[in-house]
Structure 1
Amino acid sequence: MTGSMIVNNLAGLMMLTSLFVISVKSYRLSCGFYACQSLVLVSIFATLSCLFAAEQLLIWSASAFITKVLLVPLIMTYAARNIPQNIPEKALFGPAMMTLLAALIVLLCAFVVQPVKLPMATGLKPALAVALGHFLLGLLCIVSQRNILRQIFGYCLMENGSHLVLALLAWRAPELVEIGYRYRRHLRRHCDGVTGKKNMAYPRHAGRE
Structure 2
Amino acid sequence: MTDPAQSPTPPPGWTPPATPPFGAPVGPPAGAPAPASGRPAPSPAPQYGPPPGSPYAQPGARYTPPGYAGAPAPRPAEPRRSPVMGIVALVAAVAAMVGASIAGGIAAFSVGLGTGGQMSAQPLAGDFDWSILSPVRDAVLAGEVSFWIGTALGLWALVQGTIAIVRGSGRGFGVAAVLVAALGPIAFFTAVQIGISTGLATGAGFTG
With normalisation by structure 1, the TM-score equals 0.31
* Higher RCO structure, 1 or 2 (CA under 8 Å, sep 6+): 2
Which structure shows the higher helix fraction?
A: 1
Q: Which has the larger radius of gyration?
A: 2
With normalisation by structure 2, the TM-score equals 0.31
